[in-house]
């Protein structure tokens, strides 16, 4: 009996959790004059999306976000793979100290260093550039730890065998370690992509032009250009446009998505 | 001699592999922190075009600043409101999502999806939920005759509104860690508990909960750090108001640096933040078994 009640309660919670998304989705298709009322009717329209698309350069924002997300991911994969291999397989002078230095980045993430890093970018004359948004994230201690974990489980014999066949260190890394760590790369990739797709404060501070602004900042500027609730339907449409690509990817690959997060989180 | 050379080669090789990461780590973590420490001992605001050394004045002013204490205590309440609740809820979600038979996919999706929604989008949606008169919550409260509550405009309610929203946003993420933890618990333990006829509450109390303890500690640390990192929503929803009732430390740093342009003070505040997070990290590092997560 108790089990029944908690079961129903947890289902109720799931429905409650879905509500904000479904409500925003519903509002985004409502004609403007019905957006704020709860009276039920079957009027739906695509007008809001059309208006939003015309009112703000969302195509440019999509492109910017896309470039930033891909650029960060590529750089992180390269730097993290190299560092993870060194930490996992080599004994060298200063290893423990370096490991702690890497740990510090997890404890003091770039998110809280917005003001100091603004000054660094200013000194490098990289304010209001896409590369400036990306640079602070090019080294990912989280990625290094995740990959180090995986590389450690790969038996040394495989590396020896590859060396016997005349592979150099790069080929060993590329042909032995990287393919065997694929699930970890996927897990890290998903975490990184959703993080940078959603990142807001940092790009807000350093960008100043349409050419460099990511979707999140574009959305905030669009939403703040209205004072009253009269444009709810349009703001909802803009919000859905920002959420949609990641959400779609999530719904399509739900199992892999959650398993990847379990994989990366369980370590 | 030969061994010496081989050793030297490995050293050089390892450092070269680490170099790319190290450059960015030094440039965007260690150098900025160092610069900030120095700047925090300088007066550098709109009134002083050339920063000059002023000792611990910034820190003194900070300790006398009512707003600083306000945002610090807000942040502590925010942490107290979000950390235990979202951790406990995440555990409940994981236990349920782990064994529910029908609708498993729906339940997991419903709990988890807020994780991948940008905080800024969350803020837009919840702003509409909390809006007086027209908002979703007001429509519901109207059934109780209290539809005119201004959740974000009221000093007492605004923090509750934020806390609830953040629990919604992050509980599903923490659920994932618990789902991973649950998979590591041996099935045999449950079988032998069932043989002895233990009730499900006893099994939870004696087996599941203790074995998930490392996950619980890990999740609460992330939740605590998050409570200091999450401020995006303030830009959209309240700007820290009314009268700093919802202001948090990182948002105050943002205001101090980029609205008031007081760089010395922004530096001092950043140092407080860094020390705070490092202290939490030290607690984690020394008191909990670090082996579980980093080895």
- Maximum Cα–Cα distance across chain B: 87
Contacts with B270 from chain A: Cβ below 8 Å? 112-113, 115-116
Please say if the pLDDT value at position A180 is more than 50: yes
What is the average per-residue pLDDT within A185-195? 88
Nearest to A260 by CA among A201, A200, A181, A197: A181
Contacts with B224 (C-beta within 8 Å, 6 or more apart), sequence order: B79, B83, B280
Contacts with B20 from chain A: Cβ below 8 Å? 78-79, 82-83, 138-139
- Say if the Cβ atoms of A83 and B20 lie within 8 Å: yes
* Residue B43 bridge partners (DSSP): B52
Output the six-digit token pair for B147: 């539809």
Q: What pLDDT, on the 0 to 100 scale, is given for residue B294?
A: 42
- Say if the Cβ atoms of B270 and A115 lie within 8 Å: yes
pTM of the model: 0.89
Distance CA B236, CA B171 (A): 22
B138: distance to nearest CA of chain A, Å? 11
**Minimum CA–CA partner of A9 in chain B:** B96
* Residue B260 bridge partners (DSSP): none
Q: What pLDDT, on the 0 to 100 scale, is given for residue A264?
A: 61
Nearest to B17 by CA among A72, A184, A92: A92
A205 touches chain B (CB under 8 A): yes
How confident is residue A266, by pLDDT bands cut at 50, 70 and 90? very low
A258 touches chain B (CB under 8 A): yes
**Minimum CA–CA partner of A92 in chain B:** B11
- Name the residue among A79, A145, A250 with its Cβ closest to that of B116: A250
Contacts with A88 (C-beta within 8 Å, 6 or more apart), sequence order: A147, A148, A149, A151, A152
- Say if the Cβ atoms of A135 and B107 lie within 8 Å: no
- Name the residue among B33, B103, B263 with its Cβ closest to that of A108: B33
CB atoms within 10 A of CB A113: 23
Length of chain A (residues): 267
**Minimum CA–CA partner of B135 in chain A:** A36
- Maximum Cα–Cα distance across chain A: 75
**Minimum CA–CA partner of A193 in chain B:** B116
Cis bond upstream, residue B242 (ω within 30): yes
ipTM of this complex: 0.87
Cβ–Cβ < 8 Å for A151, A88: yes
- Say if the Cβ atoms of A216 and B120 lie within 8 Å: yes
pLDDT in tens, B238-286: 888 788 889 999 999 999 999 989 999 999 999 999 999 888 888 877 7
What is the average per-residue pLDDT within A147-167? 88
Q: What pLDDT, on the 0 to 100 scale, is given for residue A39?
A: 67
Distances (CA, A) of A200 to A103, A195, A225: 24, 10, 17
- Name the residue among B10, B22, B257 with its Cβ closest to that of A92: B10
What is the average per-residue pLDDT within A180-200? 89
Distance CA B94, CA B179 (A): 5
Nearest-5° Cα angle at B21, A85 to A170: 40
Q: What pLDDT, on the 0 to 100 scale, is given for residue A230?
A: 59
B164 phi-psi bin (left φ>0, alpha ψ -120 to 50, beta other)? alpha
CA distance from start to end of chain B: 34
Please say if the pLDDT value at position A197 is more than 50: yes
Q: Which residue has the higher pLDDT, A99 or B49?
A: A99
Distance CA B106, CA B112 (A): 10
Q: What pLDDT, on the 0 to 100 scale, is given for residue A233?
A: 85
**Minimum CA–CA partner of B254 in chain A:** A115
| Residue A168 phi, psi dihedral angles, 5° rounding | -85, 180
Contacts with B118 from chain A: Cβ below 8 Å? 197-198, 200, 215-216, 219, 242-243
Distance CA B160, CA B146 (A): 17
Cβ–Cβ < 8 Å for B206, B66: no
A20 touches chain B (CB under 8 A): yes
Q: What burial letters (b/e) apply to B217-253, b meaning 16+ CB within 10 Å?
A: bbbbbbbbbbbbbbbbbbbbbbebeeebbbbbbbbbb
Distances (CA, A) of B89 to A107, B85, B94, B220, B260: 25, 6, 9, 12, 39
A213: distance to nearest CA of chain B, Å? 14
Q: What pLDDT, on the 0 to 100 scale, is given for residue A267?
A: 43
Nearest-5° Cα angle at B182, B181 to B187: 130
| Residue B159 phi, psi dihedral angles, 5° rounding | -65, -40
Output the six-digit token pair for B243: 């009268």
Sites in chain B below the pLDDT cut of 50:
290-295
Q: Domains of chain A by range and CATH? A: 46-265 (1.10.3720.10)
Q: Could you write out the DSSP letters of every residue in A82-117?
A: HHHHHHHH---TTHHHHHHHHHHHHHS-GGGGHHHH
Cβ–Cβ < 8 Å for B202, B90: no
Q: Flag the least confident range among A102-106, A262-266, B93-97, B154-158.
A: A262-266
* Residue B53 bridge partners (DSSP): B42
pLDDT in tens, B177-201: 898 888 888 888 888 888 888 888 8
Residue appearing with tokens 């209001």: A128
- Say if the Cβ atoms of A90 and B14 lie within 8 Å: yes
Length of chain B (residues): 295
B22: distance to nearest CA of chain A, Å? 8
CATH class of B69-294: mainly alpha
A161: distance to nearest CA of chain B, Å? 19
- Name the residue among A17, A112, A135 with its Cβ closest to that of B229: A112
Distance CA B58, CA B61 (A): 5
- Name the residue among A14, A36, A138 with its Cβ closest to that of B106: A14
Scanning A165-204 for CB atoms below 8 A from B yields: 169, 194, 197-198, 200-201, 204
Cis bond upstream, residue A86 (ω within 30): no
A257: helix, strand or coil: helix
**Minimum CA–CA partner of B8 in chain A:** A92
- Say if the Cβ atoms of A266 and B183 lie within 8 Å: yes
A241 touches chain B (CB under 8 A): no
| Average pLDDT, rounded, for chain A | 87
pLDDT in tens, A28-59: 888 877 766 666 677 778 888 988 888 889 99
B53: helix, strand or coil: strand
Cβ–Cβ < 8 Å for B170, B226: yes
Helices (H), chain B: 2-25, 31-39, 57-64, 66-99, 104-112, 119-130, 136-142, 157-183, 187-195, 200-203, 209-211, 213-229, 232-237, 249-258, 263-287, 291-294
């Amino acid at each position: 009996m108790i089990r029944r009640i908690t079961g129903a309660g947890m289902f109720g919670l799931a429905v409650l959790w879905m509500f904000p998304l479904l409500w925003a989705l519903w509002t985004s298709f409502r004609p403007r004059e019905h957006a704020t009322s709860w009276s039920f009717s079957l009027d739906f329209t695509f007008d809001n999306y059309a208006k939003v698309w015309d009112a703000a350069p969302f195509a440019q924002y999509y492109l910017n976000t896309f470039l930033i997300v891909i650029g960060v991911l590529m750089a992180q994969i390269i730097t993290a793979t190299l560092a993870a291999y060194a930490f996992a397989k080599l004994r060298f002078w200063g290893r423990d100290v370096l490991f702690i230095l890497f740990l510090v980045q997890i404890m003091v993430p770039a998110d809280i260093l917005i003001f100091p890093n603004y000054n660094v970018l200013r000194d490098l004359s990289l304010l209001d550039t896409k590369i400036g948004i990306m640079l602070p994230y090019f080294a990912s201690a989280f990625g290094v730890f995740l990959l180090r974990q995986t590389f450690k489980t790969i038996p040394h014999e495989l590396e020896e065998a590859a060396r016997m066949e005349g592979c150099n260190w790069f080929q060993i890394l590329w042909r032995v370690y990287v393919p065997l760590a694929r699930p970890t790369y996927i897990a890290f990739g998903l975490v990184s992509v959703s993080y940078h797709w959603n990142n807001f404060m940092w790009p807000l501070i350093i960008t100043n032009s349409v050419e460099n602004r990511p979707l999140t900042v574009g959305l905030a500027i669009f939403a703040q250009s209205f004072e009253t609730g009269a444009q709810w339907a349009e703001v909802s449409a803009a919000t859905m446009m920002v959420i949609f690509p990641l959400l779609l990817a999530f719904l399509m690959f739900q199992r892999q998505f959650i398993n990847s997060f379990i994989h990366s989180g369980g370590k | 001699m030969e061994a010496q050379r081989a050793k030297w080669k490995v050293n050089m090789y390892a450092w070269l592999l680490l170099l790319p990461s190290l450059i960015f780590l030094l440039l965007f973590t260690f150098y900025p922190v160092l610069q900030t420490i120095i700047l925090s001992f300088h007066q550098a605001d709109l009134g002083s075009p050339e920063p000059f050394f002023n000792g611990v004045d910034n820190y003194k002013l900070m300790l006398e600043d009512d707003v600083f204490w306000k945002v610090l205590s807000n942040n502590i309440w925010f942490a107290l409101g979000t950390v235990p609740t979202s951790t406990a809820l995440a555990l409940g979600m994981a236990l349920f999502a782990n064994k529910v038979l029908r609708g498993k996919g729906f339940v997991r999706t419903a709990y988890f999806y807020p994780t991948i929604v940008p905080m800024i989008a969350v803020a837009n949606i919840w702003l509409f939920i909390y809006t007086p008169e027209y908002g979703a919550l007001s429509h519901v409260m109207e059934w109780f005759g209290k539809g005119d509550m201004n959740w974000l405009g009221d000093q007492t309610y605004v923090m509750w509104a934020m806390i609830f929203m953040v629990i919604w946003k992050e509980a599903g993420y923490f659920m994932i860690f618990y789902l991973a933890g649950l998979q590591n618990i041996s099935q045999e333990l449950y079988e032998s508990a069932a043989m002895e006829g233990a009730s499900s509450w006893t099994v939870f109390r004696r087996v599941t909960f203790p074995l998930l303890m490392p996950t619980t500690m890990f999740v609460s640390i992330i939740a605590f750090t998050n409570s200091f990192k999450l401020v995006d929503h303030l830009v959209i929803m309240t700007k820290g108001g009314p009268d700093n009732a919802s202001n948090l430390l990182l948002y105050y740093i943002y205001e101090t640096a980029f609205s008031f342009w007081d760089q010395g003070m922004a530096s001092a505040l950043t140092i407080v933040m860094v020390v705070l997070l490092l202290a939490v990290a030290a607690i984690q590092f020394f008191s909990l078994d670090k082996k579980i997560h980093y080895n």
